[in-house]
Amino acid sequence: MSTAQAVAQHLPFLRRYARALTGNQSSGDAYVTTALEALVEDPSALSGPDGARVALYRIFTKIWNSLDVNASAEPASGIAAEQRLGSITPHARQGFLLVSLEGFTEEDAAKVLDTDVSNLRELVETAGRELAAEMATDVLIIEDETFIAMDLEGLVQGLGHKVLGIARTHSEALALGKSHKPGLILADIQLADGSSGLDAVNDLLRTFEVPVIFITAYPERFLTGQRPEPAFLIAKPFQPATVSAVISQALFFARNARRQDQRKSA
């Protein structure tokens, strides 16, 4: 398998990880681009006993942890994202996402972060404690599959949030969203009436701002870089830990963005 082929099969998921880490599409993609540029300069970095996936994420991690790259990021994306990340331990967040979102084993996640399993576990536990400090919020679920909606409802409530309602169609989503104005939206892409959950969310976002997590069986279709894309994606079938991790990420960035806005207006 060529280097390009080895990278291509993991690239959509690296982009998902980068977006979850930065909370921003353009910032996450900028870090991925820099990592790919480094790989072009040294293709041998992808080879090694741990496989291409671990090697690719290791390259990205070195870029992410580079203060020079962080400082040179565009003000509209990278620097703002770095400021929002300031109140939580970066290494703990990386370990948490590598295990809970990307599905790395503890052993491989430790290799990505250049640490040992014991320290990796401490990082994940630290992130869990810090992310658990998020304030509970009201959640709107846009999902037409009954059992998936029930699973999501149970997960959301188990995290201490309140479910405002479950919408199966575009019109139901608009009615619930506009009447209750949730603090978080979980949305399927394809709805029961044949409409798009993406369109329903965009209609709601014209009237108020809210963090959104999209759920789809085909996340790679929304990670092409060819259009404005969701910052937070969960693949079907999903793992409960993945949902919990991404919800925490979305609320973390929303909370810190609000704090920044408040400081600017003060």
Q: Which domains does the chain have, with CATH numbers?
A: 3-131 (1.20.140.160), 138-265 (3.40.50.2300)
Q: What is the pTM of this model?
A: 0.59
The rounded distance, in Å, linking the Cα atoms of 47 and 134 is 40
pLDDT digit string (tens) for the chain, length 266 residues? 677 888 889 999 999 899 888 877 888 888 999 999 988 898 888 887 888 999 999 999 988 887 444 444 443 333 333 333 334 467 888 888 898 778 899 899 999 999 999 998 888 777 766 665 556 789 999 999 999 999 999 988 887 889 999 999 999 999 999 999 999 999 998 888 888 888 899 999 999 989 999 988 877 766 665 555 667 888 888 888 778 878 877 887 777 667 666 667 76
Each residue's pLDDT tens digit, 69-83: 444 444 333 333 333
Query: Which pLDDT does position 6 carry in this prediction?
Result: 82
- pLDDT above 90: percentage of residues in the chain: 33
Query: Which pLDDT does position 113 carry in this prediction?
Result: 93
